[in-house]
């Protein structure tokens, strides 16, 4: 069976990891095609890890190519107003380009992979075009972040709500990474009756003997404890919150250090760190591709997200390595972490309690080990890449999980 996966992406992120895990292993006699935009920054990473698939590149203008670049807020507002005025023209252009593209290929099945919803305009156009050309092969739309209920620009709401009317007729249904994220699609005016399913992300555990030596590299005391946060440099990920947590922790123990690794510009977050009484205990670092080395060498993984956390992939990475996770009770994280069993879930406005949970776990080796073992058991039961692949295979081929 020829199965096409259509993606539109302009920055590295969890979608790349998802595609890697989904397509890294060949299944039966299926032939996989990844259809990607020419300026997709994650494609090198995917190609490095997925050798047995066919890559098809498309080059179609999209406004997100501009929005995802570094531009000041004032200019961004002007651009979005222009976007709202020109949207019908660019969307028709995208449809015409995709008509030409899809006529060249005869896939048996197609899945649209979108970061959020509505997400990329080209993804929406691809769903509509493919369904018109192949009405008996309607695609599933896979999305990885909460659906947007409405736009701030009134004109965009009109256009996108109209497109939703076409999408609900064109797509077989929607599938996302957590129950709370899947159901968010029904917040949209014309998608209240949409068919929605949930398939949890699966982690591919690849053993690696290498470890990241925090203490040696940063010249820390041998009795130091290491907290790790893996997240892009975006304030919604909770950087301000975790800095407040560290201030509480370091009042009790000066030998606990926080390491943050992530994509993006950390300028604003660095200013917050420099003003903090814990500035000497917080280290900001660029993105490191090998999460295994980072997680296996830390004591605890912390996830202080404040909003829009649809799943929390780093949580299952840590669980696969028997590391307890302390997290805010934000979005899909409540479906991944079992509070007081595999880790702790703390309210987003209680940094003191978050700090208390960290100190409690670091001071209790027996409890930490017990939680780590239960984390691993939960990972094996719910979040392996094998389980995820099987579910998506059933969905794409048989329209069931």
CB 195 within 8 A of CB 204: no
Residue 370: name the closest of 344, 343, 396, 394 by CA: 343
Q: What is the pLDDT of residue 195?
A: 96
DSSP state of 172: S
Between CA 242 and CA 252, with CA 246 as vertex, the angle to 5 degrees is 150
Question: Rounded to an integer, what distance in angstroms lies between the CA atom of residue 117 and that of residue 148?
Answer: 6
Q: What is the pLDDT of residue 70?
A: 67
Q: What is the pLDDT of residue 28?
A: 74
**What's the gap between Cα 299 and its chain centre?**
23
Q: At how many degrees (to 10) do helices 267-275 and 239-252 cross?
A: 30
Q: What is the pLDDT of residue 25?
A: 79
Q: What is the pLDDT of residue 357?
A: 98
Between CA 306 and CA 317, with CA 311 as vertex, the angle to 5 degrees is 110
Query: pTM for this one?
Result: 0.93
**25 Cβ contact partners less than 8 Å away, ≥ 6 residues apart:** 385, 389
**157 Cβ contact partners less than 8 Å away, ≥ 6 residues apart:** 150, 151
Instruction: Give me the phi and psi of 225, to 5 degrees please.
Output: -115, 140
Q: Look at residue 113 and give its three-state secondary structure.
A: strand
Q: List, in order of start, the domains of the chain with CATH numbers.
A: 2-202+385-398 (3.40.50.2000), 214-382 (3.40.50.2000)
Task: Measure Cα distances from 131 to 166, 167, 193 in Å.
Answer: 10, 9, 19
CB 327 within 8 A of CB 337: yes
**174 Cβ contact partners less than 8 Å away, ≥ 6 residues apart:** 117, 140, 141, 142, 143, 182, 185, 191, 194, 195, 196, 197
Residue 144: name the closest of 111, 171, 166 by CA: 111
pLDDT in tens, the chain (401 residues): 999 999 999 988 889 999 999 998 777 789 999 999 999 999 999 999 999 899 999 999 999 988 877 677 788 889 999 999 999 999 999 999 999 999 999 899 999 999 999 999 999 999 999 999 999 999 999 999 999 999 888 999 999 999 999 999 999 999 999 999 999 999 999 999 999 999 999 998 876 667 789 999 999 999 999 999 999 999 999 999 999 999 999 999 999 999 999 988 899 999 999 999 999 999 999 988 888 999 999 999 999 999 989 999 999 999 999 999 999 999 999 999 999 999 999 999 999 999 999 999 999 999 999 999 999 999 999 999 999 999 999 999 998 88
Q: Is 272 exposed, middle or buried (0-12, 13-18, 19+ CB in 10 A)?
A: middle
Question: Rounded to an integer, what distance in angstroms lies between the CA atom of residue 299 and that of residue 258?
Answer: 10
Residue 46: name the closest of 31, 65, 58, 32 by CA: 32
Residue with tokens 């560290």: 246
């Amino acid at each position: 069976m020829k199965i096409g996966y259509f993606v539109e992406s302009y920055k590295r992120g969890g979608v790349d990891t998802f595609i890697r895990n989904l397509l890294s292993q060949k299944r039966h006699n299926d032939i996989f095609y990844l259809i990607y935009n020419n300026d997709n920054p994650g494609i090198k990473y995917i190609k490095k890890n997925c050798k047995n698939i066919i890559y098809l590149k498309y080059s179609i203008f999209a406004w997100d190519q501009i929005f995802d670049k570094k531009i000041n807020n004032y200019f961004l507002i002007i651009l979005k107003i222009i976007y709202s005025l020109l949207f019908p023209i660019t969307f028709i252009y995208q449809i015409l380009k995709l008509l030409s593209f899809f006529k060249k290929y005869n896939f048996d099945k197609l899945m649209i992979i979108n970061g959020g919803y509505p997400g990329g305009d080209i993804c929406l156009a691809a769903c509509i075009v493919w369904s018109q050309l192949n009405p008996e092969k309607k695609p599933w739309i896979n999305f990885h972040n909460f659906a947007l209920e409405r736009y701030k620009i009134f004109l965009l709401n009109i256009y996108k709500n109209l497109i939703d009317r076409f999408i609900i007729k064109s797509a077989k249904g929607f599938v996302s990474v957590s129950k709370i994220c899947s159901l968010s699609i029904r917040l949209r005016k014309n998608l209240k009756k949409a068919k929605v399913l949930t398939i949890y992300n699966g982690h591919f555990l690849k053993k690696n003997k290498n470890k990241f030596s925090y203490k040696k590299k940063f010249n820390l005391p041998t009795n130091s404890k290491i907290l790790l946060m893996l997240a892009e440099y975006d304030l919604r990920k909770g950087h301000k919150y975790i800095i407040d947590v560290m201030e509480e922790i370091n009042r009790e123990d000066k030998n606990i250090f926080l390491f943050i690794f992530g994509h993006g510009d950390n300028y604003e977050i660095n200013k917050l760190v420099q003003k903090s009484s814990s500035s000497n205990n917080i280290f900001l670092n660029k993105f490191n591709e090998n999460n295994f080395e980072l997680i296996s060498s830390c004591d605890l993984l912390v996830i202080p997200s404040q909003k829009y956390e649809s799943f929390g992939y780093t949580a299952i990475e840590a669980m696969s390595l028997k590391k307890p996770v302390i997290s805010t009770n934000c979005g899909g994280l409540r479906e991944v972490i079992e509070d007081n069993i595999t880790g702790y879930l703390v309210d987003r406005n209680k940094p003191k309690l978050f700090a208390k949970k960290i100190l409690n776990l670091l001071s209790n080796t027996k409890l930490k080990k017990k939680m780590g073992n239960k984390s691993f058991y939960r990972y094996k039961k719910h979040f392996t890449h094998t389980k995820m692949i099987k579910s998506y295979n059933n969905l794409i081929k048989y329209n069931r999980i």
